[in-house]
Amino acid sequence: MTILELGQKRKDEYKKAKLIGIIIISLLVLIIFLQNTQSAETKLLFVTVRMPIVIMLMLTVLTGFIARVNTLTFKKAEQTPKMGIEVASIAKKGKSAGFLGWIKGTIANLFIKPPKVDKLGNTAMLEFGEALLQKNSTFTFPKAKNIKKSKVVAIDHIQK
């Protein structure tokens, strides 16, 4: 095998690895979107808006702002549990947050209303936190209720 052939082989392997990486990231983004179809309320200045969480995620990504979240809080609750969110800072994508970003994050915390969380999801997060605290090597999340079952599709007459 010549050096040129070896170089081309490595280039092809790199392209395959890049494609696999893109597919994996795309699948993860799709799963996150499918898991966040429920609606939540958010305050935009003095207006309360209700929209699916997936739309909020897309709007956040499209605005190009990065919010560094310090904590997501899950607590045991008798009534409907809520997830507490604390933003550390907000900055433009690719920029350092700095002091002004910290002030923006502090102001954003005044407007964040804790979203309601399904009791199963809340319990799963509490158990996950306990597993992290205990330094368990594995943890299995329960199957989410809102994930729809996929259908079997025939491709070229072969069941997949």
- Cα separation, 83 vs 71, whole angstroms: 10
pLDDT tens string 139-155: 887 776 666 666 655 55
E strands along the chain, which residues?
39-44, 47-52, 65-73, 84-92, 154-155, 158-159
Q: Is the pLDDT of residue 23 over 80?
A: yes
CB 112 within 8 A of CB 73: no
- Cα separation, 48 vs 53, whole angstroms: 14
Q: Is the pLDDT of residue 158 over 60?
A: no
Q: pLDDT averaged over the chain?
A: 76
pTM of the full predicted structure? 0.39
Return the domain boundaries, the chain: 1-35, 66-144
Confidence of residue 160 (pLDDT cuts 50, 70, 90): very low
Average pLDDT for 13-25: 86
pLDDT tens string 75-94: 776 777 777 878 888 877 77
pLDDT tens string 56-76: 777 766 665 666 776 777 777
| φ and ψ at residue 72, rounded to 5 degrees | -115, 120
- Cα separation, 85 vs 109, whole angstroms: 8
* pLDDT at residue 55, as a whole number: 80
